[in-house]
């Protein structure tokens, strides 16, 4: 029921004033939470999920989150209608999935994300029970592997990364602007979460990062799901950490160690200083990797 209250408050707080504001208010100066990434692309980093606001003559698209805060940030950049919202990954609270996208906007997501949203489920990362999204809040357009969106004189490639962090995760890539939103495949401050129960694997995350690395260059702007903007080098370091921890856990599992013994060996210990400040602590990550590798034997 709590989610239904959220729906009501977001409908009132975000959508209606936004519509009125479009008709009466001049554009506001962008706040410090909104910064330009490239032609037609702004990052709103002030919310729970990093959201890219893609604006131009054809209208606006949001990529990442679509909560009331993201919509307000988009209004700071442009008063043009929000036509599309592309979900990169799923957080029930941060994505405002219960509220649905802004009035008139079309929500786009990978097939598995719509399936997840359409039924009650337990959020794997938080354990929180999530009710089914209302019909009007579900993605309208879904896709399997890839989708291209042609808007504002440029192109967005949306690439599904299967068997990685969680169901329906994508990488959103603007080739002309050399900007990529990689969702929670990468956390500059933390170890990744892996939704083992829904097909997530460490190898899938590594493969997804390698796909991004193969397309990126030193000038590519890498936007993670949360936290500060990064670059190809940071993403490469992260991939290296995942491979190293995975290899160490695999060796320990191969020696017949129990989970408690693997944790005691601290296979992610050397990375705690760099990645110990995120949502997933080293011990939890090691538990996930252990669960992944032992499940596959």
Summarize as ranges the residues that interact with Zn ion (CB under 5 A). Answer: 184, 225
Name the minimum Å distance from CB 177 to Zn ion.
22
Q: At its nearest, how many Å lie between Zn ion and the CB of residue 51?
A: 11
Q: What is the DSSP string of 57-75?
A: TT-EEEEE--SHHHHHHHH
Between 68 and 184, whose beta carbon lies closer to Zn ion? 184
Would you state the structure tokens that stand for residue 113, as one six-digit string? 């994300």
- Distance CA(90)–CA(154), nearest Å, equals 26
Nearer to Zn ion, 93 or 243 (CB): 93
Tell me how far CA of residue 62 lies from CA of 2, 25, 67, 116, 230, in angstroms.
25, 21, 10, 21, 20
Q: Are 51 and 62 in contact (CB under 8 A)?
A: yes
Closer residue to Zn ion, CB minimum distance, 101 or 225: 225
Q: Which residue lies nearest Zn ion, judged by its C-beta?
A: 225
Question: How far is residue 85 CA from its own chain's centroid?
Answer: 13
Residue with tokens 């890839």: 146
Shortest reach from residue 136's CB to Zn ion, in Å = 23
H-helix segments, the chain: 2-10, 16-24, 68-77, 111-118, 202-215, 232-254, 259-264, 272-275, 282-295
CB of 206 to Zn ion, least distance (A): 18
Q: Which is nearer to Zn ion, 126 or 146 (CB)?
A: 126
d(CA 245, CA 131): 35
Least distance between Zn ion and beta carbon 87 (Å): 11
Distance CA 177, CA 39 (A): 7
And the tokens for 240? Answer: 């290296």
Query: What are the residues whose beta carbons fall under 8 Å from the beta carbon of 250, sequence distance 6 or more?
Result: 293
Nearest approach, Cβ of 184 to Zn ion (angstroms)? 4
Nearer to Zn ion, 83 or 160 (CB): 160
User: In the bound complex, what is the minimum distance in angstroms from residue 97's beta carbon to Zn ion?
Assistant: 12
Nearer to Zn ion among residue 49 and residue 241 (C-beta): 49
Bridge partners (DSSP) listed for residue 107? 85
Nearer to Zn ion, 165 or 248 (CB): 165
């Amino acid at each position: 029921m709590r989610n239904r209250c959220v729906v009501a408050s977001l409908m009132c707080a975000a959508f209606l004033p936004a519509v009125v504001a479009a008709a009466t208010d001049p554009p506001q100066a962008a706040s410090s939470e909104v910064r330009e990434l490239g032609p037609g692309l702004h990052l709103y980093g002030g919310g729970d999920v990093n959201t890219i606001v893609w604006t131009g003559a054809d209208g606006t698209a949001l990529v990442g989150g679509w909560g009331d805060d993201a919509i307000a940030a988009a209004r700071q950049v442009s008063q043009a209608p929000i036509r599309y919202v592309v979900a990169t990954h799923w957080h029930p609270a941060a994505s405002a999935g219960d509220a649905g996208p802004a009035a008139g906007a079309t929500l786009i997501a990978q097939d598995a994300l719509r399936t997840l949203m359409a039924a009650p489920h337990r959020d794997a990362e938080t354990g929180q029970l999530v009710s089914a999204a209302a019909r009007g809040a579900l993605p309208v357009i879904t896709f399997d592997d890839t989708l291209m969106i042609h808007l504002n004189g440029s192109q967005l490639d949306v690439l599904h990364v299967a068997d990685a962090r969680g169901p329906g995760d994508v990488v959103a890539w603007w080739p002309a602007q050399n900007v990529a939103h990689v969702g929670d495949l990468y956390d500059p401050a933390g170890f990744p979460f892996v939704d083992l129960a829904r097909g997530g694997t460490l190898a899938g995350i590594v493969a997804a990062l390698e796909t991004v690395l193969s397309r990126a260059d030193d000038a590519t702007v890498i936007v993670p799901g949360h936290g500060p903007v990064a670059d190809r080098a940071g993403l490469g370091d992260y991939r290296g950490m995942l491979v190293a921890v995975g290899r160490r856990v695999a060796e320990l599992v191969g020696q017949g160690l129990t989970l408690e013994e693997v944790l005691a060996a601290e296979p992610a210990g050397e990375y705690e200083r760099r990645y110990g400040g995120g949502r997933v602590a080293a011990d939890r990550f090691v538990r996930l990797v252990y669960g992944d590798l032992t499940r596959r034997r």
